[in-house]
Amino acid sequence: MRDYMTAHQRRFHIASEQSVMLKREAEAAYDTLHDTLSREQQKLLLRFLDAEERLRDEEKLDSFFSGFRLADGIHRELGAPYSYEDEDEARARVQSGANEKDSSQ
């Protein structure tokens, strides 16, 4: 189940402009720290950052699980049929139709 939810989280994740900017800022701060710290301090910093990243990944996945459960609950309440596969197929048909029109012109 966890692998299934992880795959869905990756499929629907969209990085915002702000998250991209924050990532660049964090990388710049890391580079500055790396240049000023001793070898032992660098190892300690890396262990800390690795643990923090694992924690953030777990929290992000937990948040996705919660949102997925909420959406599933709303879906069950409304009783509206929905299929990701059907949506993907419809999108592919529309896109292939557009490609065929472009190639025929």
User: What residue type is assigned to position 71 of the chain?
Assistant: A
Distance CA 85, CA 4 (A): 15
When mean pLDDT is compared across 15-29, 32-46, 57-71, 78-92, the lowest value belongs to 78-92
Per-residue pLDDT, 77? 81
pTM of the model: 0.51
Mean pLDDT of 32-53: 91
**Mean of the per-residue pLDDT values for the chain?**
83
DSSP 20-66: HHHHHHHHHHHHHHHHHS-HHHHHHHHHHHHHHHHHHHHHHHHHHHH
pLDDT digits (tens, 9 = 90+) for 63-86: 988 888 888 888 888 876 667 788
Residue % of the chain over a pLDDT of 90: 24
Q: Which long-range contacts (CB under 8 A, 24 or more apart) does 20-24 make?
A: none
The SS3 assignment for 7 reads: helix
For helices 17-36 and 39-78, give the axis angle rounded to 10 degrees. Answer: 160
